[in-house]
Structure 1
Amino acid sequence: MIKIPGYLFLALGMSTAFANQQADEYYQLPLEQLMQVETQAKARVGSLGGKRNALDAEVPIDVITAAELESSGHSSLTRALAALVPGFNAPAPSIADGTDHAAPFTLRGLNPDQVLVLVNGKRLHQSSLLHNNGTVGRGSSSVDLNIIPLAAISRVEILRDSASAQYGSDAIAGTINIILKGYGQPSQARMHYGQTGQGDGQNKLASLFHSIPLRGDGFINLTGAWRDRGRTNRAGRDMADGGRINTRFGDADSRDGSFLLNAELLRGDTTFYSHALYNRRHSRAGAYFRHADDDGNITELYPSGFLPKIAPKISDYSLTGGAKGIFNDGTDWDLSYTHGHNDFHFYVKNSLNASLGPTSPTAFDAGSTHYTQQALNLALSKKIGLHTLSYGYEVRQEHYRIRAGDRASYEQGTHGGINSPGGAQGFPGFSPDNEVSERRQTHSVYGDLNYRLSQRWTLDTAARLAHHNDFGSAFGGKLALRFRPIDNLLLRTSLNTGFRAPSLTQSHFSYTGSYRNTANSAPTLWGNFAVDHPVSRALGAKKLKVEKSTHLSMGLVFQPTPNLTASLDGFVTDIHDRIMPTTYISADSAPAAKPVLDQYNIDGAVYFANALKTRTHGVDLRLDYNLDLKQDATLKLLSGYQYSKTRIKNVRQPAGMLGQDGNNIMLDTFNRVLVKQGQPADRINLHSKYSTRAYDLVFNLNRYGKYASTLDSNKVVFAAKWTLDAELAYHFGQALTLALGGLNLLDTMPDKWEDSGYPMSAADKVVPYSQYSPFGFNGRYYYMRAAYKF
């Protein structure tokens, strides 16, 4: 049974004691106060027919304002949303190769690639990085939200409902629409400085937003941002190395530069618009420490051992241009083109290739991955009485590439024989055998009908047919119903069928390494093989199919007074043919595979498969309360609760040649725990803001539910924890704001591995925490920020 905290219902009951605020009171307010009045939040996401009140929607929608993002105390969009939105999970991975530098996020406990991200309603490209280690989101590619500076954002709309019928692939768990600042926004300079309570993790941010009004009706908004985030380290002492702290377990050291443009120009009946984004990131994080006597070390180069550092250079850019207007018959039209690109270039520092001996380089270009997405979209919409008909056509082109690194980064030399691993220590480079260049083209037609059955009944239907040139067609449909039995109560339900095309990274990613059994033998391979590789096919791999989902939600919105709103929504999401990587297939894990491994001179392999059928069910509860106090003071209370649970309904068996080993190959203990319990079971958020003309006082209290991970194939459950953030912001007139704040003021730390009761070696204690912790493991953080409007 789902338990909903009693305080949420208590707040709902107490609110009825407050008097109703009548609409005609607004006519009595002076202009200055009238401009401060908060009206019901508008949202574009989830409707192809334009903006509407978020609380009146047929599906649940969260709207996070720029002010809420700013007062969260976080300098990145991912962390700000993780602090404010229950069900949005963004753990802080460490010692996870590329994932350290572009961390994934999830919604409602599903995968990162099952969330669609839009900017001003246009699809944002994913990263070319495949999260291929044991992190939340393993086996997926995700959008990097942190490439968008907070200073450029007007609001973030989060649709907590499947929307493949409206937006296409990926929108199974939900859709995030980032709305950029538009017309009439004041120019602003912002600065942020902070560090953890342990004195590391210095975070410096400077941004400038400048709005240029154009003659007639239009604007050009420019945003530049620079962020320098210092590393943190919560690694334990290495007793095998004299008790030194020689490993880095914490945030990567990274520097970002971002530029964003958003513009509109009205000419006659046509509005021309564009937004463009560029982000460049240099980042550095550690791998595991190599001791002096380690097989991977050359003592002539590192007499005391060494810590390899993975230091990628990451570039993202996106450009959207389009025009919109109204035909003579009243049809709205919107024609747009979007081009997005990610370049993830791996470099390895402070390392070596042990198989090359003392002549090995110590720095390597380990190769790169690239992803490009282009989309051309024509959207049409027309009001027909009280009804709205929307339809359109989209063509999308994707391109995925892997480029090899320099020879020394992947080469298997002869020095050291069997015990000397080849390739750069920490991250062996991509080899020429891994290089790939694959494209996909998708054509889609879609339609949406919002039909007003009466003043109290609304029916919304949508359908989308997409054809992919590499695996065929997919269909998504939606049926949503809204009923308002009385003016302050809304009942809603929706039924969706959705889909997610297998990403090009999942179909074509290839990453292999090698070693020699003897000094003169041919290299033996291991690694991740593409699904069409002979090794994968011999081990039972098949061409990936589209993931298909069925989503049902039912809920209500209750507004007993104009300043109090409560919403409750339950949901069930079934996903068929869910894609994930297999476990490491070796002669030890699957003896039946040994003949194939020997045939191809392979020690072990991983490939992607349509492995699972899962069911995720849960509930979302929201309470919003606004109170006007004396002397122009206001109190805003937001509270939310989210619960979700995933269970595995079926495991697809691989080829018969693996026999009884097949089930463990597709789903061993690690993968089972990751899918079912790797994310918090529930989440409570209590956010309050007390505002006067002189200052704002913000408190943000979160409870993160229990989650689990594995240690030596044993499930370890970590306890629920509370965190508290607070900020005091003082306004010097209307131009200057200075703020002091703290994150995790309770200095809450997740449970350590050793608290689980399982016996641990000294080497295990070097990494004391699970990287699945939903609030990280840095502890307390203090900051100050300043904002100046001009």
Structure 2
Amino acid sequence: MKHILCALLSLTCGAAAAEKAVEESNDYYQRPLEQLFQVETQAKAAVGSRSGNRNALDAEVPIDIITAVQLQSTGQTELTRALAVLVPGFNAPRPSIADGTDHAPPFTLRGLGPDQVLVLVNGKRLHQSSLLHNNGTVGRGSSGVDLNTIPLRAIERVEVLRDGAAAQYGSDAIAGIINIILKGYGQRSQASVSYGHSREGDGISKHASLFQTLPLAGDGFLNLTAEWRDRGPTNRAGPDAGDGGRINTHFGDADTRDALLGLNAELPRGDTTLYLHGLYDRRRSSAGAFYRHADDSRNISSIYPDGFLPLIEPKILDFSATAGIRGITVSGLRWDLSYTHGHNDFHFYVNDSLNTSLGSDSPRSFDSGASRYTQQILNLDLSQKIGPHTLAGGYEFRQERYRIVPGEPASWMLGPENNYAYGAQGFPGFSPDNEVSARRRAHALYGDLKYALSDSLTLDSAARAESYSDFGSTLNGKLALRYRARDNLLFRASASSGFRAPSLSQSHFSYTGTYRNSDDTAAQFWGNYAVDHPIARALGATDLKPEKSRHFTLGLVFQPSTQLTASADVFVTDIDDRIMPTGYISAWNLGSLSPQAAAILAQNNIDGAVYFTNAIGTRTRGFDLRLDYKKELENGARLKMVAAYQRSRTHITQVNASPGILGVPMTDLILDPFTRGLIENAQPVDSFKLWTRYATHDYELVLNLNRFGKFSSVQAYQPVTFGAKWTVDAEFTYRLTRDVALTLGGANLFNTKPDTWGKTEDSLAGAGKVIQYSQYAPFGYNGAYYYLRVGVEF
């Protein structure tokens, strides 16, 4: 990797140095108007500062800008997958057979959790999904933002702040911030259709989008985006030797259809501007659970004589809207008052299934209930320039509500057959005992000061005090220093404290079911209980505390010419009291479980329990390298290259004390080999991205080279390491006319796939297993994907 970066640097530095004097002479007056429209200025960023947009490369903290052109050039139709091939350290594996997680996969940044990344839209907080990832996937025990609810064609750019920023923006901004800027003034209307499929012929993807912009008075605008996505399923399951060699299991992408809308509008009125933006997504999705063989005790042979594959088919509704007014007073005070409402409804349905305990009268389809999350925010921002300095502050009120809605009785009830396999097979429904309606409120006061110590030295400071109705108050601060040693050399450093409030789903999630023993002769009744549930309290559960973090970044930016920029940053993030679900609290799982705890389980007629707790502390260390190069060639051709490398590792540094009533140490309660591996080794140790675009008036060619680092999983309580892999994406676009373009492309062009369980050096699972790949694989396991797209501007 070091040799690749050095080669790129040496290749571009010579050309950049030779042309530096020419570029800096500023020959724009001699250029035709058409060329001036194509001039690319330095990227601006709004995130991380309340003093307005500024050059991203001049910021006190590292910020990456991902443009709409880059997003479209990946060939992906979903934002999560597009960012996964453009942003180093952004990890988005594709889980399967993981209940709701199949249908709203999580993402992470810098090896931390999905809920440790704050997502903004036009600078306003976007709500999380109501789904709690409760299976053995990356992101287990968290509720994150579903980025795929955002229409890709509505996005102007994505700003990725790679630094802790909770002292500025509040909870969740530990690993960083993703700020999605919707298309604004000066856009052209456009429409596109695309079609693609995997090399194996499945995963058929159909996509259509329409972006319509309407100019309003006074540089106002109304932008509307409509998208339709139909992504067919893929299946990489192997043959089942126990079922005559049939491929009876679904292990791959869900069959997903999305209808999306986006709105962004501004209407200036003198010194004030009214603004409104909103997002809407209605998703229908389908994926399989584990297959039930014909002779499985959970099957009823008169209903499914050949066995059956339960299908989990949720209906997901997600929407958000922000309305506000901003302006500037005569004295230069800038103000911004806004209200944001966000909602997510994740409704579970199960089809091609049965409730074994109901016998032959069992339905085949079930409504298994829903989880719902609503967030409302009232925000006032104030900012005043005082000479070369900027003083800013504000107030924020946030109200959240989390609900669990029971399913229909047949989805969760124990019927007259008294079979332990009760409830809808695949996903037993939420019962009335699981019903939850929880609320909380938070008030925040915050202030920022940007102080220019000299023309070359700037100090940024921030402080934020918040009070939550469920766990109390927090106070966090940040200091960032920027020093421009020369015109082409900038040093930067930051230190901050932060926090992540426990999500309402972590505090109040409730779910009960059965677990089948390996000998298939008995049932284990268990419950995942809210921390305030009497059973959880009796077993030592307490109210969750916020996770607390400390973040340090040190870096530099070197810009030898207007064509070339290089940056390097090192970082350390310490997090205390990270929130995790306990292991399965039971006598057979924890052999040393105290007699008192065993008695509590027996008195409540359950075999085991799980609840969330503040369990561990971690340290994440790493560094980021980035190289940007652009060059204008003869005849109006343009070349742009972005190379980036990120490496980080997370280690557990502290284990909190476990509740004394359990009689087991926290290490036994929390850190089994699987869970430890999930935290420390399940995500790629490093990643490299090289995005290259060559464009002329008539055509453009994009090449995207990715390296996904090694990662580990656990099989039979032993770690299994999967090697690093390279992928290549390519896209060729030809302009049929000035406004019509035809694109042919391929993602993972050479059909690279992750190691299978049977091909790893120390694999304990032989080849030919039904599940051949680890679901932690950072680029999935579908192989090559080819597509065709037609776009029109008007």
Matches within 5 A, 1:499-510: 499-510=499-510
Question: Does residue 760 of structure 1 match 2:757?
Answer: no
- 2:448 matched residue in structure 1: 448
Alignment-mate amino acid for residue 438 of structure 2:
E
Aligned to 2:9: 12
Structure 1 CA distance for aligned equivalents of residues 666 and 513 of structure 2: 24
Q: In structure 2, how many angstroms separate the alpha carbons of the residues matched to 1:711 and 1:16? A: 47
Q: Secondary structure at the match of 2:499?
A: strand
> For 1:691-749, what per-residue CA distance to the aligned partner results, in whole angstroms no more than 9, with x for missing partners?
11111100001010000011111111100000000000011232011100001112111
Match of 1:707? 711
Distance 2:514 2:625 in 1: 51
Instruction: Determine which of 361, 366, 369 is the counterpart of 1:367.
Output: 369
Q: Where does structure 1 lack aligned partners over 5 or more consecutive residues? A: none
Instruction: Give the Å deviation of 1:174.
Output: 0.3
1:656 aligns with 2:656: no
Map 1:508-657 onto structure 2 (within 5 A). Answer: 508-514=508-514, 525-591=525-591, 592=593, 593-657=597-661
| Equivalent position amino acid for 1:429 in 2 | G
Say if 2:748 and 2:785, in contact at 8 Å, map to a contact too. Answer: yes
Q: Is the 8 A contact 1:75 1:192 kept in 2?
A: no
Partner of 1:16, secondary structure, is helix
Distance 2:448 2:416 in 1: 63
Q: CA, structure 1 residues 211+665, in 2 after alignment: closer, same or farther (shift >3 Å)?
A: same
Number of the residue aligned with 2:252: 250
Is the CA contact (8 Å cut-off) linking 1:652 and 1:666 kept in structure 2? Answer: no
Q: Which residue of 2 aligns with 1:282?
A: 284
CA contact 1:564–1:623 (8 Å) conserved in 2: yes
How far the C-alpha of 1:631 sits from its partner, in A, is: 1.2
Name the SS for the 2:461 alignment partner: strand
Q: Is the 2:715–2:764 contact (alpha carbons within 8 Å) kept by the matching residues of 1?
A: no
> Are positions 1:352 and 2:350 aligned together?
no
- Once residues 514 and 775 of structure 2 are traced to their aligned partners in structure 1, the CA distance between those partners, rounded to angstroms, is 28
Aligned with 1:35: secondary structure? helix
1:669 maps to 673
SS at match of 1:24: coil
Counterpart check, 1:112 vs 2:114: yes
Structure 1 position 122, deviation (Å): 0.5
| Paired amino acid for 1:164 | A
Alignment partner, residue 469 of structure 1? 469
Tell me if the contact between 2:207 and 2:227 (Cα under 8 Å) persists in the aligned partners.
yes
Q: Deviations over 1:175-218 (max 9, x none)?
A: 00000001111000011110000000000000100001113331
Instruction: Tell me, in whole angstroms, the C-alpha distance in 2 between the residues paired with 1:625 and 1:524.
Output: 60
Deviation digits for residues 354-389 of structure 1 (CA, Å, limit 9, x no counterpart): 011110001000000000000000000011000111
* Separation in 1, partners of 2:640, 2:279: 33
Q: Distance in 2 between matches of 1:722 and 1:383?
A: 48
Please give the secondary structure, in 1, of the residue aligned with 2:196.
Answer: strand
Structure 1 letter corresponding to 2:605: N
TM-score (norm 2): 0.97
Q: Alignment partner of 2:27: what SS?
A: helix
- Aligned equivalent of 1:235: 237
How far has the Cα of 1:23 moved from its partner? 4.4
Aligned to 1:425: 425
Instruction: Decide which of 62, 65, 70 is 1:63's aligned counterpart.
Output: 65
Counterpart mapping for 1:306-317 below 5 A? 306-317=308-319
Distance in 2, matches of 1:549 and 1:386, equals: 32
- Name the residue aligned to 1:171: 173
> Paired residue for 1:380?
382
Q: Secondary structure at the match of 2:237?
A: coil
Structure 1 position 493 matched with structure 2 position 493: yes
The aligned runs of 1:31-430 (5 Å cut-off) are: 31-415=33-417, 417=419, 420-430=420-430
Code of the aligned partner of 2:124: K
SS of the residue 2:222 aligns to: strand
Instruction: Report the TM-score, using the length of structure 1 for normalisation.
Output: 0.97
Letter in 2 for 1:67: V
Structure-2 change in CA distance of 1:165 and 1:357 (3 Å): same
The answer as to 2:746 corresponding to 1:742 is yes
Distance in structure 2 (CA, Å) of the matches to 1:425 and 1:332: 57
Q: 1:139 to 1:516 in 2, by over 3 A?
A: closer
Cα shift at 1:533: 1.3
Asked whether the 8 Å contact 1:477–1:496 carries over to 2, the reply is yes
CA contact (8 A) 2:752 2:783 kept: yes
CA distance in 1, matches of 2:388, 2:135: 52
In the alignment of these two chains, the number of paired residues is 780
CA distance in 2, matches of 1:269, 1:385: 21
**Cα distance in structure 2, aligned partners of 1:16 and 1:513:** 62
1:31 Cα offset (Å): 1.6
1:482-508 Cα offsets, whole Å, 9 max, x none, are 001111000000001001000000000
Could you say which residue in structure 1 is the equivalent of 2:722?
A: 718
1:322 match: secondary structure: strand
User: Deviation per CA, 1:606-661, whole angstroms, max 9, x where unpaired?
Assistant: 11111110000000000000111111111111100000000100111211233345
User: In structure 2, what is the Cα distance between the partners aligned to 1:542 and 1:785?
Assistant: 54
Q: Which moved more, 1:204-213 or 1:260-269?
A: 260-269
Displacement of 1:760: 3.3
User: Helix, strand or coil for the counterpart of 2:634?
Assistant: coil
Residue number among 693, 696, 701 corresponding to 2:700 in the alignment = 696
What letter corresponds to residue 313 of structure 2 in structure 1?
A: A
Residues in 2 aligned to 1:16 and 1:661: alpha-carbon distance in whole angstroms: 57
Q: Name the amino acid aligned to 1:77.
A: L
Instruction: Determine helix, strand or coil for the equivalent of 2:783.
Output: coil
- Is contact 2:655–2:666 with CA below 8 Å preserved after alignment? no
Counterpart Cα distance in 2 of 1:660 and 1:470: 28
Shift of residue 514 of structure 1?
4.7
Q: Distance in 2 between matches of 1:70 and 1:170?
A: 28
Q: Kindly state the Cα deviation for residue 758 of structure 1 after the two structures are TM-superposed.
A: 3.8
Question: 592-601 vs 290-299, which deviates more?
Answer: 592-601
Is the partner of 2:462 in helix, strand or coil?
Answer: strand
Aligned to 1:729: 733
Which range moves more in the overlay, 660-669 or 102-111? 660-669
> Which 5+ residue runs of structure 2 have no aligned equivalent?
none
Q: Please tell me whether the aligned partners of residues 188 and 209 of structure 1 are also in contact (alpha carbons under 8 angstroms).
A: yes
**Aligned residue for 1:438?**
438
Shift of 1:515: 8.3
Aligned equivalents of 1:516 and 1:415: distance in 2?
A: 17
Q: 1:655 to 1:153 in 2, by over 3 A?
A: same
Moved over 3 A (4+): 514-517, 522-525, 756-762
Amino acid at match of 2:639: L
> What letter matches 1:492 in structure 2?
R
- Separation in 2, partners of 1:273, 1:291: 56
**Partner SS for 1:492:** strand
Alpha-carbon shift at residue 343 of structure 1 (Å) = 0.3
State the shift of 1:276 in Å: 1.3
Amino acid at match of 1:144: D
Q: Which deviates the most, 659-668 or 603-612?
A: 659-668
Q: CA RMSD in A?
A: 1.5
